[in-house]
Amino acid sequence: MQEFMIFIKTKGDHLEGLSPEQQQAHVQKIGVYIGGLMEAGKLKGAQPLDMKGAIIHGNKGAFKDGPFNESKEVIVGYFHIVAKNLKEAIEIAKANPMFEDAEGTIEVRAIKQMEGIN
């Protein structure tokens, strides 16, 4: 098994345009999705991220307030999963119910295993 990070990216808060009822239904769908990953032994961790943050850029430590880059797309959450290979990790990512309720991008990246680093 290999470890992967799945980064959920949207243009701002993807729940903002949903009614309270739609938000609740979305949260329930995500709960079912997470429960299925846990039951299958595929989930190591998952959390939404706060919309506030900072981007540190440049070689002199200059920083810019807010997690926003030029594309306006921000990482709003992550899943740390285990999968047989990249193909399976992509299928896990495609099953995320975020695509049913919002427009966004999911990035799937394998975690490199390096000697001496936990």
Q: What is the pLDDT of residues 75-116, one digit of tens each?
A: 889 999 999 999 999 999 999 998 888 788 999 999 998 888
Q: How confident is the model over 25-37, as pLDDT tens digits?
A: 988 999 999 999 9
Burial class (CB in 10 A: 0-12, 13-18, 19+), 70: exposed
CATH number at residue 44: 3.30.70.1060
Q: How many domains does the chain have?
A: 1
Q: With respect to residue 10, please indicate whether it lies within any of the assigned structural domains.
A: yes
Q: With respect to residue 115, please indicate whether it lies within any of the assigned structural domains.
A: no
What residues contact 86, with CB distance under 8 A and at least 6 apart? 2, 4, 108, 110
Enclosing domain of residue 93: 2-110
The conformational region for residue 62 under phi > 0 = left, psi -120 to 50 = alpha, else beta, is: beta
Q: What pLDDT, on the 0 to 100 scale, is given for residue 38?
A: 97
5 token code pair: 């990070």
Q: With respect to residue 116, please indicate whether it lies within any of the assigned structural domains.
A: no
Q: With respect to residue 118, please indicate whether it lies within any of the assigned structural domains.
A: no
48 token code pair: 């939404």
Q: With respect to residue 117, please indicate whether it lies within any of the assigned structural domains.
A: no
Q: CB neighbours (10 Å) of residue 83?
A: 20
